[in-house]
């Protein structure tokens, strides 16, 4: 029986606005939970009536953290609708852009969004710099910055933060909480690497500026990529720029292999109990990505497409996002209206009609029996699904892909945990790191594929044969996909008379953070929280650990209503 309701609002160190309400039982364990997205997404309304060739530019602004992913899904949806085939170089460059985003985002998530759930920053002040250096050299002997003097300087910098009374980026946390288990030296090492990763993360995304002109929100093009390549030119992407791309990939490989993975394994070794917490649904889904023989052939994707139900790694089920009976969104617990008699809709027929029926803000709690979120409730064949790095790694592993086994099995052996440990908060966190290992390997391979294709004399980056609307069918529907850092992302477009008739985006955090369905079935966040022990209800770091392991991104939305429900802005499409 629930004895206390814990409200975390807003959940910090995420993108967007998320509210979690957890019902704590008398035994100190979460008995039930609610996930509420408290911001409204109206991009579908904005897109209606616009030129589909421009959709990528609008959808990319859905989020500044997962920059590029909405653009990629969008152009693929339009190309799918219009049967446009892109040149080989365009596919490769898109893969490079995709992997650049994924690697950078995962490193940022681990150090800057999630690590502080496990690392007690203030505890680092009692660390011995010499012992910290020895620890660093033991877990990552190739990493250059590991001297006692270096850690002494980091400790002094942190000390000045604390003495000033302004912890800055380390403020407002649960320092000293009994759930923290790392020794002081491990905490100091993690803080140092936090700062190093913060400096590095801005470098890798320069690859986006090479091929896409800028970051965030690099440029894309329906039919390919808007970048000219000429190895000998000063006015196009030349050999100098391509050499810079290679150097940035090599630096990323060092960060991942010599910093991220050793830190991940070191921290995980102190929290093995979390291999039995936060498992949640046990259902996993991925659209797949990184095409090697065209986006129409998922069997050639580096990330395979498929679904797993009930933690059954013995069977990967096929899925078809264009089958209107498979993926459907309902709104029984969401602040939206659907046409009468329509309990759930496939995205091609999706409706985005806001209807806020919740309590007047500010409110103490939401009603789990009514609508309580701005997120819809997507389901695959009626099942709630978890998407993201864990889903991708499990589908790859269960599919028998050797590259997935090559990174998963050694980690399980090192931590001395079974494969079932992956179904957990710790497994979700570890999966992101293992995926990043694959990501930097594939990033270099895609770069080498591009160089080989250029050396063979192929410089084409775009196919404009079907650029003009006069060449399009009067009406067409398309599906575009990608595997965003946070999981399966799908865009569905309906084009009529050269304009967007309907557009729907089902984003990863819609899958994971969705409210209950009409049958009372939980979304992934809610299910993962059930069964979690909480030591101190006033400082629920355990809730943050599981929620942050998903890397929430609720920014797939735009504000249009004030706290009193008053409309603040109206967009008129002409």
Query: What are 285-324's pLDDT values in tens digits?
Result: 999 999 997 667 888 899 999 999 999 999 999 999 999 9
At residue 64, the pLDDT reads 74
Distance, CA of 207 to CA of 446 (rounded, Å): 13
Q: Max alpha carbon distance in the chain (Å)?
A: 72
pTM assigned to the model: 0.94
Query: Tell me: the pLDDT tens digits for 507-541?
Result: 999 999 999 999 999 999 999 999 999 999 999 99
The full set of domains in the chain, from first to last, is: 2-121+173-181+271-549 (1.10.645.10), 122-172+182-212+243-270 (no CATH)
Contact 481, 488 (CB under 8 A): yes
Is the pLDDT at 569 greater than 50? The verdict is no
Question: Is pLDDT above 70 for 111?
Answer: yes
| Terminal CA-CA length for the chain | 54
pLDDT in tens, 381-425: 999 999 999 999 999 999 999 999 999 999 999 888 888 899 999
Tokens of 334: 């969401």
Mean pLDDT of all residues in 28-52: 92
Q: What is the DSSP string of 377-431?
A: EEEETTB--B-SHHHHHHHHHHTT-HHHHHHHHHHHHHHT--GGGGSSHHHHHHH
Residue 216 preceded by cis peptide, ω within 30: yes
Name the residue among 122, 109, 104, 294 with its Cα closest to residue 216: 104
* Residue 62 confidence (pLDDT): 87
Q: Which two tokens stand for residue 35?
A: 């996930």
Q: Is 392 exposed, middle or buried (0-12, 13-18, 19+ CB in 10 A)?
A: buried
Residue holding tokens 């009372």?
A: 520
206: pLDDT strictly greater than 80: yes
CA 376/CA 329 separation, integer angstroms: 6
pLDDT at position 557 over 50? no
pLDDT attached to residue 120: 95
Distance CA 369, CA 105 (A): 36
d(C-alpha 277, C-alpha 275), whole Å: 6
Q: Are 380 and 327 in contact (CB under 8 A)?
A: yes
Q: Is the pLDDT of residue 558 over 60?
A: no
pLDDT score for 541: 96
Distance from the Cα of residue 364 to its chain's centroid: 30
Is pLDDT of 562 > 90? no
pLDDT of residue 172: 74
Tell me the catalytic residues.
15, 63, 66, 70, 486, 509, 553, 556
Q: Which tens digits make up the pLDDT trace of 252-266?
A: 999 999 999 999 999
Beta strand spans in 419-498 (E): 475-484, 487-496
Which residues make Cβ contacts (< 8 Å) with residue 204, sequence separation at least 6? 100, 103, 104, 248, 251, 252
Peptide bond into 362 cis (omega under 30): yes
Nearest 5 degrees, angle CA 282-CA 324-CA 300?
A: 65
Distance of CA 83 to the CA centre of its chain: 28
Joined together, the tokens standing for residue 239 give 């050999």
Handedness of CA 453, 454, 458, 462 (dihedral sign): positive
pLDDT score recorded for residue 66: 78
Which of the two residues, 420 and 223, has the higher pLDDT score? 223
Percent of the chain residues past pLDDT 90, beyond the cut? 84
Q: Give kind and range of the element (H or E) at residue 185.
A: helix 184-204
Beta sheet of 499-506, edge-to-edge order? 475-484, 487-496, 499-506
Residue 99 has pLDDT above 60, yes or no: yes
Per-residue confidence band for 2, with pLDDT thresholds at 50, 70 and 90: low
pLDDT tens digits, residue range 332-362?
Answer: 999 999 998 899 999 999 998 999 999 998 8
Q: What is the pLDDT of residue 560?
A: 41
Check whether 556 has a pLDDT greater than 60.
no
């Amino acid at each position: 029986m629930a004895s206390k309701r814990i409200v975390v609002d807003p959940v910090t160190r995420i993108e967007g606005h998320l509210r979690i309400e957890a019902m704590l039982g008398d035994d100190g364990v979460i008995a039930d939970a609610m996930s509420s997205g408290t911001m409204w997404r109206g991009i579908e309304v904005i897109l209606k009536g616009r030129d589909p060739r421009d959709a990528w530019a609008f959808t990319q602004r859905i989020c500044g953290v997962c920059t590029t992913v909405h653009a990629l899904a969008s152009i693929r949806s339009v190309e799918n609708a219009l049967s446009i085939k892109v040149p080989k170089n365009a596919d490769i460059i898109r893969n490079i852009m995709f992997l650049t985003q994924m690697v950078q985002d995962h490193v940022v998530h681990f150090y800057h969004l999630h690590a502080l759930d496990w690392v007690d920053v203030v505890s680092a002040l009692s660390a011995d710099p010499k012992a910290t250096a020895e620890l660093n050299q033991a877990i990552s002997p190739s990493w250059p910055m590991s001297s006692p003097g270096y850690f002494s300087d980091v400790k002094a910098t942190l000390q000045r933060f604390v003495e000033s009374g302004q912890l800055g980026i380390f403020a407002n946390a649960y320092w000293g909480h009994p759930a923290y288990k790392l020794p002081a030296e491990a905490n100091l090492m993690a803080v140092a690497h936090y700062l190093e990763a913060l400096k590095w993360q801005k470098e890798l995304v320069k690859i986006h500026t090479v091929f896409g002109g800028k970051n965030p929100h690099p440029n894309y093009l329906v039919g390919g990529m808007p970048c000219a390549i000429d190895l000998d030119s000063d006015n196009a992407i030349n050999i100098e720029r391509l050499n810079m791309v290679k150097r940035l990939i090599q630096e990323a490989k060092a960060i991942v292999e010599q910093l991220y993975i050793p830190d991940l394994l070191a921290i995980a070794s102190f929290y093995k109990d979390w291999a039995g917490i936060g498992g949640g649904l046990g259902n996993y889904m991925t659209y797949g990505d990184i095409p090697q023989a065209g986006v129409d052939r998922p069997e050639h994707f580096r990330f395979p497409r498929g679904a797993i139900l009930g933690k059954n790694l013995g069977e990967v089920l096929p899925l078809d996002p264009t089958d209107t009976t498979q993926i459907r969104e309902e709104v029984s617990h969401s602040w939206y209206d659907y046409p009468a008699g329509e309990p759930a809709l496939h995205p091609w027929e999706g409706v985005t009609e806001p209807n806020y029926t919740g309590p007047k803000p500010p409110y103490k709690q939401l009603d789990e029996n009514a609508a309580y979120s701005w997120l819809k409730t997507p389901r695959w064949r009626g099942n709630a699904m978890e998407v993201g790095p864990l889903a991708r790694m499990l589908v790859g592993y269960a599919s028998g892909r050797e590259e997935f086994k090559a990174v998963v099995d050694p980690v399980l052996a090192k931590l001395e945990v079974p494969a079932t440990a992956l179904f957990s908060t710790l497994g979700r966190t570890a999966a992101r790191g293992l995926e990043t290992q694959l990501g930097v390997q594939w990033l270099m391979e895609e770069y080498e594929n591009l160089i080989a294709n250029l050396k063979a004399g192929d410089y084409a980056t775009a196919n404009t044969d079907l650029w003009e609307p006069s060449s399009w069918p009067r009406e067409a529907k398309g599906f575009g996909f990608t595997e965003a850092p946070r999981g399966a992302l799908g865009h569905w477009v309906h084009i009529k008379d050269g304009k967007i008739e309907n557009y729907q985006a089902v984003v990863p955090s819609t899958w994971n953070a969705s409210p209950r369905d009409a049958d009372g079935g939980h979304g992934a966040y809610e299910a993962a929280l059930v069964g979690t022990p909480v030591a101190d209800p006033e400082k629920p770091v355990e809730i943050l650990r599981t929620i942050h392991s998903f890397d929430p991104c609720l920014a797939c939305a735009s504000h249009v209503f004030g706290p009193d429900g008053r409309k603040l802005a109206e967009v008129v499409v002409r």
